[in-house]
Amino acid sequence: MQYFAKAYDVIVIGAGHAGIEAGLAAARLGAQVGVFTINMDWVGNMPCNPSIGGTSKGHLVREIDALGGEMGKAADANTLQSRMLNLGKGPAVHSLRAQIDRRRYSEYMKYTMERQENLEIVQAEIVDLSPLPDGRWQCLTRLEAIYHAACVILATGTFLGGRIYVGDVSYDGGPDGMFPATLLADALKRLGVPTRRFKTGTPARVNRRSIDFTGLERQDGDERIVPFSFDGDYQPENVLPCCITYTNSETKRVILDNLDRSPLFSGKIDGKGPRYCPSIEDKIVRFSEKERHQIFIEPCGEHTEEMYLQGMSSSLPEDVQLKLLRTVPGLEHVQVMRTAYAIEYDCVDPLALYPSLEFKQFPGLFGAGQFNGSSGYEEAAAQGLIAGINAARKLQQKEPFVLDRASSYIGTLIDDLVTRGCSDPYRMMTSRSEYRLLLRQDNADLRLTEKGYEIGLVSADKYARLLEKRRLIAEETARISQVSVPPSDALNDLLVSRETSPLQTGCRLTELLKRPQLSYDLLAPFDPDRPDLPPEIFEQVEISIKYEGYIKRQFAQAQEMRRLESKKLDETQDYNEITGLRMEAQEKLNRVKPQNLGQASRISGVSPADISVLMIHLKKQEEKRRAETKNAAGEAESQ
C-alpha cells in the first residue's frame, strides 16, 4: 500500500557523478535535498575506467572545483597515479589525468554526502514520477513510498532502461551487475519525455597476478604532481604504475573470425555508441589498416589485484574475449575477473532542455549527466553541479546560473548539448572550444572562483586566496616588464644552446620570455631579484606574456560572441512567421527555441544569412516598441 514518506525541496534520482554534485550543490545552497540510489554501496561508482580527468576532461574537473564542486577534492584524496597530459604541446591542451582507487573514491563520496547538512541519501528505487497540481513533483519508490519535491533532477546514468549485451546473451541490467531502472524509464515515456537509446561498453577486469609484466612498457606518474583542487586539501602521490601493451595480427584474426557473434555487428544493439571510445572489435573494423592498437593496463585500487584494460572495450562472447586477450603480450595466461560487456540505455534528447538544464516543457524537472546524452564521469559531474545550482536557485526565485562558451568548458559542454543536440554519446574535447587558449586548465580558478563565491558555493577563505593570487600575478607581471637583461657570455651560451639568437645589446626579460625556446626557470639565473613565489604564479605570468597576442585575439572573439548573446529572442516566437528564413532554419529554430542570437547562430542548419534575417527582425521589433512607447507617451500627454 502506498504511503506518504516525506517532502523535500529537491530530489535527485541517482548517486553517480552527476547526482553527487547535484545533491551537494543544492544542499550547500540551502535546499533540503533527498538523493535516491538503487544501491547505497555504489555511490560514486566508476563502472568503466578507474580514472578522473584526461584531455579536456581535466579542464572540467578543475572548473568544477573552482565553482565549489567536490570531484577534484575526491580525486586528489584517492589518487594512485597522476600525470599532466600533452606537455609537449601548448598550454591550451595541457590536461591533468589521475588513476583513482575506485572503491576508496566511492567511500569518500558516500561519506561526504552522509555528512552534508540539508542532504539525506536514501537507498530506494524510484519507479514513477509525475507532476502534482500545485507545480511540485511526486516520486514513488518500488516499496510504495511517496516523496514530494519542488524540483527533481534526473541523474540516472546508464541505469535507465539498461540492457546488458555479451555476445548472444542479453538481459535487463545496470552497470557492474546492478539492477536497471526499467520502471522509471517507462514512467518517463508516459510523461512525454523525449528519450532515445544510446550504448556504451567497458573492458574486462583481470587479475594482476596472471599478467606477465616482463617486457611491457612501464608508465609512471609525474615527478611534480599538480592537484585537481585549488584548495590544496590533499597532496596526491604516485602509488602504483601503469603499463602499456599492444594488440597484434593474431588479435585481429580472432576478432574478425568471430565478428558475426558480436551484437554490435549482428544488429542486436540498436543504441548509438560513443564515437571516440569504440570497442576493440569496432576499432579493428574501422581502422583495418592499423597493425596494432595500444592497450593500457591500469590498477583499479591499491588493495585489489583487479586491473583495467583501457582500450579493450568489447561485447564479444565470453569465450572469444578470453581467446583474444590471450593473444596480447603480457596477457598470455590472463585470468578474467569481470567479463567485458556493452550496455544499452535510455537518455533524453538534450534539445528538450534549457541551458539551465531544466526541461522546457516540465518546470522543476532537470536532467544531468549521461541522462542528457553525454559520456564520461567528468561531463556528468559538471552537469550535475549546474543542475543542482539551478534547482536551488529556482526555489530561491533567482535567475538561472548559465555559463557561456567563453567562460568555461562547462559552458561549452552544456551549450553544445542544448543547442546542437547529439546523435551519439557526447564527449568533451579541447577542439570543441573556440576559446581554448582562454579556457586553460591552469586558470580555471581565475575564471570561475569568483562566480562560485557569488553563487554561495565558494567560501570566503577560498575567495580571499584567489584575490591574493591575482595580486601576486599582477605584481610579478609589472615587475618583470621592468627587468632589463644585459648581454653576457653565460646568457648567450644558454640562448645558442636553446637554438635561439644571442643578444648584442640588453633587452627586457619579457622579450626573452616571449621566445618559445625559453622559460621562466631557464632565465632565473639572469633575474637576481626574482621573488620567491609559488610555481603557479610564474606559470600564469609566463603564459600571459608568451601568448599575449593570441589571448587578446580570442578575448575579442569572445566579446563579439557575448554581444550576440545579449540580443534576446522571444522563446514563444513562431519562426515560420519570419519572412526570409530558409525552411531548414525555421524548422531548427522552432525546435530549439534559442534564448538569444548567439545561441541561434550555433544551431546546426542555421546559416549566417539566417542570422542576418533575425537581426533585421529584432531591429524592426525594437523600432516598433519604440514607436508604441512614443505614441503611448503622446496620448498620455494629450489627456
pLDDT band at residue 224 using 50, 70 and 90 as cut-offs: very high
Mean pLDDT within 296-324 = 96
Dig out the grid coordinates for 405 from the structure: 562558451
**What's the rounded Cα separation, in Å, for the pair 491 and 503?**
8
Q: Is residue 422 part of a domain?
A: yes
* Position 391 in a domain: yes
Of 420, 454, 488, the position where a domain reaches its end is 454
State the total domains in the chain. 3
Helix or strand (DSSP H, E) at 618: helix 608-638
Based on the fold, state whether residues 206 and 302 are members of the same structural domain: yes
Position 437 scores a pLDDT of 95
Calpha distance 428→124 (Å, rounded) = 32
How far is residue 348's CA from residue 193's CA, in Å, rounded to a whole number? 7
Alpha-carbon distance values, 369 to 156, 198, 609 (Å): 8, 13, 34
pTM: 0.95
pLDDT at 477 over 80: yes
Co-location of 386 and 305 in the same domain? yes
Higher pLDDT, 65 or 268: 65
Q: Check whether residue 479 and residue 540 sit in a common domain.
A: yes
Give me the pLDDT at residue 272, please. Answer: 66
- 384 in the same domain as 530: no
Model pLDDT for residues 181-200, shown as the tens digit of each residue: 999 999 999 999 999 999 99
Q: Specify whether 525 is located in the same domain as 601.
A: no
In which domain, by residue range, is 583 found?
Answer: 566-638
Domain for residue 216, yes or no?
A: yes
- The helix (run of H) or strand (run of E) holding residue 342 is strand 341-348
- On whether both 475 and 364 belong to a single domain, the answer is no
Alpha helices in 547-594 (DSSP H): 548-565, 583-592
Same-domain check for residues 16 and 145: yes
Residues 6+ apart with CB under 8 A from 348: 154, 193, 194, 195, 196, 367, 371, 372, 373
> For position 630, what pLDDT does the model report?
76
Any idea of the CA torsion for 301, 296, 15, 172, to the nearest 10 degrees?
-110
Last residue of a domain, one of 402, 425, 454: 454
pLDDT at 274: 67
**Helical (H) or strand (E) element with 610:** helix 608-638
Give the pLDDT score at 233.
86
Claim to verify: residue 400 and residue 546 sit in the same structural domain? no
Q: Are residues 519 and 387 part of one domain?
A: no
CATH number of domain containing 480: 1.10.10.1800
pLDDT above 90: residue 348: yes
Say if CB 115 and CB 26 are below 8 A apart. no
Nearest to 298 by CA among 108, 51, 537, 78: 51
Q: How many CA atoms lie within 13 A of 386 on its CB side?
A: 32
* Residue 406, SS3 per DSSP: coil
pLDDT band, residue 252 (cuts 50/70/90): very high
The residue written with cell numbers 580514472 in the block is 51
Mean pLDDT of 24-29: 98
Number of neighbours of residue 24 by Cβ within 10 angstroms: 27
- Asked whether residue 201 is domain-assigned, the answer is yes
Question: Which CATH number characterizes residue 579's domain?
Answer: 1.10.150.570
Residues 511 and 570 in one domain: no
Average pLDDT taken over every residue of the chain: 94
| Across 93-106, average pLDDT | 97
Lowest mean pLDDT of 17-26, 232-241, 297-306, name the range.
Answer: 232-241
> Strand locations in 217-264, DSSP E?
217-219, 242-246
Sorting pLDDT into bands at 50, 70 and 90, what band is 268?
A: confident
Which CATH number do you get for residue 63? 3.50.50.60
Return the minimum-mean-pLDDT range out of 16-20, 42-46, 63-67, 230-234. Answer: 230-234
Burial grade of 158 (CB within 10 A; 0-12, 13-18, 19 or more)? buried
Mean pLDDT for 410-428 is 94
Q: pLDDT at residue 637 above 80? A: no
Q: Could you report the per-residue pLDDT of 108-130, keeping only the tens digit for each?
A: 999 999 999 999 999 999 999 99
Residue 560 lies in a domain: no
Has residue 365 been placed in a domain? Answer: yes
* One-character DSSP codes across 371-400: GGTB-SHHHHHHHHHHHHHHHHHHHTT---
Decide which of 487, 515, 550 is a domain's last residue.
Answer: 550
Average pLDDT for 210-217? 95
Determine the pLDDT at residue 292: 94
Do 470 and 441 belong to one domain?
no
Q: Is the pLDDT of residue 551 over 80?
A: yes
Pair (391, 519) in one structural domain: no
Task: Find the mean pLDDT for residues 276-282.
Answer: 81
* Cβ-based burial of 373 (10 A; exposed 0-12, middle 13-18, buried ≥19): buried
What percent of the chain shows pLDDT beyond 70? 98
Is 198 within the bounds of a domain? yes
* pLDDT on residue 271: 64
Can you tell me the distance from the alpha carbon of 441 to that of 86, in angstroms, rounded to the nearest whole number? 12
Mean pLDDT for 581-595 is: 91
Which amino acid would we find at residue 103? R
* SS3 state at 415: helix
Q: Would you say residue 557 lies in a domain?
A: no
Residue 276 has pLDDT above 80, yes or no: no
